[in-house]
Amino acid sequence: MSLLLAAEAHFATEGGFFVDTAGIMLILPFLAFGAILAFGKKLPNQGGEIAVAALAINCIWAVTLFIQNMVSPVVTERVIEIGRIGSNLSFELGWVVDGLSVMMYFLVNVVGLLVFIYALGYMHGDRRVPWFFAAFSLFAGAMLILVAAPNLIQLILGWEGVGLASYFLIGFYWEDMANVKAGNKAFMVNKLADVGLLLGAAILGVVMGTFSFSEMEHLAVSGDTALAGVAVVAGLLLFFGAMGKSAQFPLHIWLPDAMAGPTPVSALMHAATMVTGGIYLMARTFPLFQNLATDARTLMVVIGTITLFGIGFLALVADDIKKVLAYSTVSQLGYMMTAVAAGGYTAGVFHLFTHAFFKALLFLGAGSVIHAVHSNNMSDMGGLKKHMPTTYWTFVIGSLALAGIFPLAGFWSKDEILVTLGHEGWTTVMWIAIAGAFVTAFYMARAIALTFHGTYKGHGHPHESPPVMTRPLIALAIPSVLFGLLNIPGVEWPGIGNFTQWLGVRGVAMGDHHAEGIDFFVAGVGLVAGILGLLLGWMIFSKDRETQQARDRFEVPLLYPLLRRGYYLDDVADGVTYVTMGPLARFANWTNTYIFDGIVNAAGGLTMLLGRFVYNGLDQRGVDGIVHGLTAATDGAGTVMRKWQSGRVQQYAAAFVGGAIVLAAVFMFVI
């Protein structure tokens, strides 16, 4: 059943106070950034309270706008022109208020606030806490700039900002070289992808004469011929950019390494919000792909499918609990990307929405465990259920939501993706995605079994985390359970409608597919896949053995090393970099040593010669000569003339009289 959403601009109200002042959300985190750097050290929580306060104020706007958009939809933007490129390309900053951006404001601020509060406890007594919260605030501000962007330029601004904050925080514990390398890797892979984004933005800007998303949407819907000509190329370039930020195969390799950062960072940036930036970009430019760049979508679906299935598999063998979740995140991003690429705007973004809550919950749960046992490895855990009941139960809720168990959030959003894939004709992909759901459930069952059941294998006595950490877990567990109900196919809640309608509030109709009722077959198969995965994973891994290796039945020859090394993709990336960049680097080194250094040395030598000439010739002989000459002349004149000043009054008088006589003679005889 296809349904065009009646979300035209005339339907929308013009906003009001909170729409007009939404820009405050974009500024406060940056003020917090500066304030924490300036005097965070002197505060009792090392600046954490400033970061939390900034996001708490932001939440007033985010929640109000979210509710306002439920009750009476808003489509508007507030921009000011900053400058112009040439005569017709205008560069504007501002904020968009429509279904998509309001959803993202809600996500970034609400999940962000919970993670920040959690971080107060998690980072307590750690190194460089003020810098942590400063960089985290910087991230929140940049992310809000990204999702508020009314045009590609501001989006890129925020995009690079979150990349920078990501780099800072991945390498937060920079005393360990591996963490620095992880930060560098994330930055460089993202930079490679950014080339695509920049080129795509440049092409679109030149062809459309504007960077504005709203004008792009209208041009795309009206089938503008100039835009249609470059849509596939520009669309693929934008997609390449999104592949980097949203960790799509094969550019996902940075995300597992990014787990080197503190766990709250992994929860907020590398699971809930930042990595969804690419999905957000695809959703923001969705009309371009839906109406013009349709040829690009096959490749995008294929990439997304490889990501969702192939990378999810890697979570089966990871020992580091955060890496399990990281691979899971990559896999879920694959779901979102596949959905958006296949034409499921609402499906993809709804999964983004629910995933942010339960994946943040899972990461914070993992952080709570790591906080207790001081190790990332599940081989150091086990049996934590009785020590950490709150963490355990919230982690189970997050896992069930991720595994797509009815009626938790993940069930509804994943089901919507499956239904959309089936409806759009991607039946094979739909079955792969169902298999992916099985894998997801399997590795989550494994993670729960290895972490919380069996006997404890670590050191010391683990304790439940303090309330400042467990309360955000509980707060995130609630939306993980309930938020799927916001978008039950065909169900409209009285007075507010459903998520599909809120999200459909855009400048143009999105024209994507919406189920009008539950497809019981697909939902049932997806649910069965999830339950089977959980049961199988539980059966294999719940049996307690002494070591991780002995328990890990998945050591299939060939397959196990393949998965442990992540399909050798890192090695391939290193190899490709070596083969392609090696000669270039050697050439650059050669030119640097012989040509640029030669030029520099020659310039230096010439400068030295010139300097010597100026010193010896001009300064020592010329300028100093003049100065010395002047003093000698003055000295000589003084030696001669001072003799006239004898101090004998009568000599002066004689000279005076003589002068008078001479003057008198002159007056008498000459004139």
Partner 1 sequence: MTVIQFVILGAALFSFGVYGLLVRRNLVLVLLSVELMLAAVNINLVAFESMLATSELLGQVFTVFVITVAAAEVGIGLAIILMIFRNRQSANADELTLMRW
Report the distance separating Cα 12 and Cα 668, nearest Å.
111
Closer of 80 and 668 to partner 1 (Cβ): 668
Interaction between residue 640 and partner 1 (CB under 8 A): no
Could you say whether residue 225 binds partner 1 (CB under 8 A)? no
Identify residues 104-163 at the interface with partner 1 (CB under 8 A). Answer: none
Angle (deg, nearest 10), helices 177-208 and 213-221? 60
Q: Binding to partner 1 by residue 642, rule CB under 8 A?
A: yes
Q: Which of 226, 618, 633, 657 binds partner 1 (CB under 8 A)?
A: 657
Q: Considering only CA atoms, which of 533, 107, 559 is closest in space to residue 351?
A: 107
Interface region with partner 1, contact rule CB under 8 A, candidates 248-256, 518-526, 580-588, 646-654: 646-654
Distance in angstroms (rounded) separating the CA atoms of residues 449 and 329: 20
CB 603 → partner 1: shortest distance, Å?
56
Q: What does the alpha-carbon distance between residue 622 and residue 180 come to, in Å, rounded to a whole number? A: 57
The C-alpha atoms of residue 273 and residue 353 are separated, in whole angstroms, by 9
Asked if 441 contacts 533 with a C-beta cutoff of 8 angstroms, the reply is: yes
Judged by beta carbon, residue 568 or residue 656, the one nearer partner 1 is 656
Q: How far is the CB of 664 from partner 1 (least distance, A)?
A: 12
Q: Give 627 or 637: the residue with its C-beta nearer to partner 1.
A: 637
Which residue among 647, 667, 668, 670 contacts partner 1 (CB under 8 A)?
A: 647
- Does residue 648 belong to the site contacting partner 1 (CB under 8 A)? yes
Contact 480, 401 (CB under 8 A): yes
Q: Which span sits near partner 1 by CB under 8 A: 69-77, 170-178, 484-492, 647-655? A: 647-655
Where does this chain touch partner 1 (CB under 8 A) — which range of 163-171, 224-232, 543-551, 644-652? 644-652
Residue 638 CB, shortest distance to partner 1, in Å, is 9
For 608, phi then psi, to 5°, come to -65, -45
646 contacts partner 1 (rule: CB under 8 A): yes
Which C-beta is closer to partner 1: that of 10 or that of 648? 648
Contact status, residue 322 vs residue 271, Cβ threshold 8 Å: no
Q: Is 634 in the site for partner 1 (CB under 8 A)?
A: no
Q: Which of 294, 279, 283 is nearest to 223 (CA)?
A: 294
* Residue of 650, 667, 668, 669 interacting with partner 1 (CB under 8 A): 650
Instruction: Give the closest residue to 334 by CA, choosing from 365, 362, 355.
Output: 355
Decide: is 653 part of the binding site for partner 1 (CB under 8 A).
yes
Judge residue 517's burial from the number of C-beta atoms within 10 Å of its C-beta, 0-12 exposed, 13-18 middle, 19 or more buried: exposed
Of residues 223 and 638, the one with the C-beta less far from partner 1? 638
List the Cα angle 469/270/101 in 5-degree steps: 95
Query: Quick check: 10 binds partner 1 (CB under 8 A)?
Result: no
Q: In this chain, which stretch among 102-110, 130-138, 442-450, 653-661 interacts with partner 1, using CB under 8 A?
A: 653-661
Give the per-residue contact string, 468-497, with partner 1 (x = CB under 8 A; - = no): ------------------------------
Q: Report the nearest approach of partner 1 to the CB of residue 653 (Å).
A: 6
* Nearer to partner 1 (CB atom), residue 13 or residue 646: 646
Query: Checking DSSP bridges between strand 76-85 and strand 89-97, what pairing results, if any?
Result: antiparallel
Nearest to 315 by CA among 327, 303, 300: 327
Q: Which residues have CB under 8 Å from 125's CB, separation 6+?
A: none
Cβ at position 668, least distance to partner 1 in Å: 14
Given 80, 649, 670, 671, the residue binding partner 1 (CB under 8 A): 649
Residue pair 253/311 in contact by the 8 Å Cβ criterion: no
Residues at the site binding partner 1, with contacts judged by CB under 8 A: 642, 645-650, 653-654, 657
